[in-house]
Amino acid sequence: MHIAIYFIVGSLLLAAGLVLLIRKLLKTAMAEVYAEYPEHVRILTSPMANIFGVKSRGMKQIRGNGILLVTSSQLYFRMLLPKRELLVPLSSITSVETPKSFLGKTKGMKLLKIDFRNDVGGTDSAAWIVPDLGKWVETVRRSAELN
């Protein structure tokens, strides 16, 4: 009986610690990203977008939360943990779609998926869960001048 109580209390403390860590990471990342991309530069921002991965990196990537934003010239994503960045010039985006899965992963909801030309002349894609998907699709299409 006492072991079960210790396990429950320990689990709750661990969960609380993880929540505090995520909040601290997000606060730090947002300060860094917003210093690089001040409000007047950002068209649309999602501070807790969930990336499903980048196609060229393969299917074994883990999903992760981070900051997704659109400026007048690029789409930028900063993953919180591990710290990774993806920078896609809007001029290289070739399409925007809303599939329910990407790289064999799904959460049963539509995703923001972009296809783009990469630096080596090939194509690539990435997908995220974002709040207000319709607004994201419209904003990226308009900003990338897609029909």
Q: Where are the domains of the chain?
A: 2-143
Residues 6+ apart with CB under 8 A from 135: 44
CATH class of 2-143: mainly beta
Residues 6+ apart with CB under 8 A from 35: none
CA atoms of 86 and 144, how far apart (whole Å)? 16
67 pLDDT tier (thresholds 50, 70, 90): very high
pLDDT digits over 105-146, tens only? 999 899 999 999 988 879 999 999 999 999 999 999 999 988
1 pLDDT tier (thresholds 50, 70, 90): low
pLDDT digits over 7-59, tens only? 787 788 888 887 777 778 778 888 888 899 998 999 999 998 999 999 998 88
